[in-house]
Structure 1
Amino acid sequence: MVVPVSEDLLPIGRFARLCRLTVKQLRHYDDLGLLVPAWTDPASGYRYYRPSQARDALLIGLLRAMDVPLSSVARVMSGDGPDALREARDRIEADVARRRRGLRLLDRVVAGGLPENEVSIVREPPRRVFMAREAATPETIPDATGACVGRLLSRMSPDVLMIGLFPLDMAEEFDVRVAVEAADGDDLLPGGTFASSVHVGPYEEIALTVHGVLAWFGDYGHTPAGPVREVYLNDPAVTPPERLETRVQIRVEDPQ
């Protein structure tokens, strides 16, 4: 049914100014079904909105300004507001934490450049292990590692070796693995020749040592082979973060 334009309807340009949005944004939200115009002229395709729709439009604009993803905004508009907003808040909080870790790393690099780690060549034997795996992205590595550790808690003790295994090449999604050595373990961790360096400091700064070891590969013309191994040498529950020691190991594919 054709609805005539009336004083109760605002053309898209006026409605955009009222809601502090652009015409392009309003068209996009219409295409997504987030904010459908009150009436669209069938001849021209021009969109018109009721003033009462301004509250919804302002809410959408506010949420997008806070980096709430469109999928969460859609849930809010469909009535699933509290859960969707809590989930969006958790994602933003995790992103803020990741950026703070990045700032701390950047401060280290600004202060001293890429670390020149003392690297040694070591021969590692094969090890029987129990292993836990968890899907991860570059942003969720800490959570995935924690989940793996949680599944292995019953097999841990102060004298048990725990090893984190991380891909050398970061894809969009990959598996994080954590292994604990055990004579009756159902997985075999291969041995080989490794470039090894000890990282001292918080786990979140281990990337600096990993990059330092990779720089060593470049300096000496060796070829690295993944995964990157992190051998945790002390207990984070009783060791201050600045005193944690982690042995970073990367297998040398063509030892000389």
Structure 2
Amino acid sequence: MSNDLLPIGRFARLCRLSVKQLRHYDDLGLLVPAWIDPASGYRYYRPAQARDALLVGLLRAMDVPLPSVARVLSGDGGALREARDRIEADVDRRRRALRILDRVVAEGLPETEVSVVREPARRVFAERGPATPTTIAEATSACVARLLPRMSPDGLMVGLFPLDMADEFDVRVTVQAADGDDVLPGGAFAAAVHTGPYEEISLTVHGVLAWFGDYGHTPAGPVREVYLNDPATTPPEHLETRVMIAVEDPQ
């Protein structure tokens, strides 16, 4: 054993990590000890490993995933940029959540004006994509991008989202087309128009669901979002989206 090796306890204090964390990172192959005593199994580290250990601790404190940390240690410069982009996206989501929370604090759950309408079945082209509760916008945008070449000037674009949000689910987006290869079912729907940014549509969705509770109806998914104007030419505060939820037992 070299004299410059540090026992795991001293190395842990130097790097502001716990012994348990160091053992875990060793098990993952992330921070491998310089030497392990074959008799006792005790781990020893070189002082030069402290820089990597400190970097691991810093990145983990910022919730950078372990696979990304491993890529950083291997010299993959793009991993840090990806980690930064993920944190920035998370900050953006939290800012949007704060704006919604501010509205709820000021106004409570919206008193949404709801009407029951009947919709015909429509032929459509449809795209589907996997999503999680935090990646709905990205998944929807990807579906929209694939559908835009098939959209006519007067065609309706509709987003379809499950009523029950699981950890993972599919979102669907459709565009109306006479030669569409899919059908968007018709029926009776509770409908309300949301005015404002897309990220605040959940306020109107919850307002429509509150209407179901108030009047004793049963909602049937998925939630439909009918996009009434072009986000490329319309300011976010003026965007209009018709929120529709099928009424299972219309009166």
- TM-score by length of structure 1 reads 0.94
The more displaced of 240-249 and 7-16 is: 7-16
Aligned position for 1:49: 45
For the pair 1:63 / 2:59, whether they are aligned, the reply is yes
Aligned position for 2:27: 31
Q: Is the contact between residue 160 and residue 173 of structure 2 (CA under 8 Å) also seen in structure 1?
A: yes
SS at match of 1:102: helix
Q: Is the contact between residue 218 and residue 249 of structure 2 (CA under 8 Å) also seen in structure 1?
A: yes
For 1:97 and 1:23, locate their aligned partners in 2 and report how far apart those are by CA, in whole Å. 35
For the pair 1:248 / 2:213, whether they are aligned, the reply is no
Q: Is the contact between residue 189 and residue 246 of structure 2 (CA under 8 Å) also seen in structure 1?
A: yes
For the pair 1:193 / 2:188, whether they are aligned, the reply is yes
Q: Quote the offset at 1:223 in angstroms.
A: 1.1
For the pair 1:236 / 2:221, whether they are aligned, the reply is no
The one-letter amino acid paired with 1:141 is I
Q: Is the contact between residue 120 and residue 185 of structure 2 (CA under 8 Å) also seen in structure 1?
A: yes
Q: Quote the offset at 1:157 in angstroms.
A: 4.0
Aligned position for 1:130: 125
Q: Is the contact between residue 152 and residue 177 of structure 2 (CA under 8 Å) also seen in structure 1?
A: no
**Alignment equivalent of 2:216, drawn from 215, 221, 246:** 221
Superposition map of 1:146-161 within 5 A = 146-161=141-156
Aligned position for 2:174: 179
The one-letter amino acid paired with 1:174 is F
The one-letter amino acid paired with 1:196 is A
The more displaced of 155-164 and 141-150 is: 155-164
For 2:48 and 2:237, locate their aligned partners in 1 and report how far apart those are by CA, in whole Å. 56
Aligned position for 1:210: 205
- CA deviation map 1:45-81 (0-9, x unaligned): 22111111111111111111222100111122223x2
For 2:213 and 2:132, locate their aligned partners in 1 and report how far apart those are by CA, in whole Å. 26
Aligned position for 1:85: 80
SS at match of 1:118: coil
The one-letter amino acid paired with 1:45 is G
Gap runs ≥5 in structure 1? none
For the pair 1:106 / 2:101, whether they are aligned, the reply is yes
For 1:75 and 1:235, locate their aligned partners in 2 and report how far apart those are by CA, in whole Å. 40
The one-letter amino acid paired with 2:210 is A
The one-letter amino acid paired with 1:54 is A
Aligned position for 2:16: 20
- TM-score by length of structure 2 reads 0.96
The more displaced of 155-164 and 120-129 is: 155-164
SS at match of 1:30: helix
Q: Quote the offset at 1:222 in angstroms.
A: 1.1
- Number of matched pairs: 251
Percent identity reads 83
- CA deviation map 1:141-190 (0-9, x unaligned): 11111111111112224422111111111112211111111111111000
For 2:195 and 2:11, locate their aligned partners in 1 and report how far apart those are by CA, in whole Å. 58
Q: Quote the offset at 1:21 in angstroms.
A: 1.2
Q: Is the contact between residue 151 and residue 177 of structure 2 (CA under 8 Å) also seen in structure 1?
A: no
Q: Quote the offset at 1:224 in angstroms.
A: 0.8
**Alignment equivalent of 1:166, drawn from 141, 145, 161:** 161
Q: Quote the offset at 1:205 in angstroms.
A: 0.2
- CA deviation map 1:104-152 (0-9, x unaligned): 1111111111111011111111001111111111111111111111111
- CA deviation map 1:191-216 (0-9, x unaligned): 01111111011011000000111111
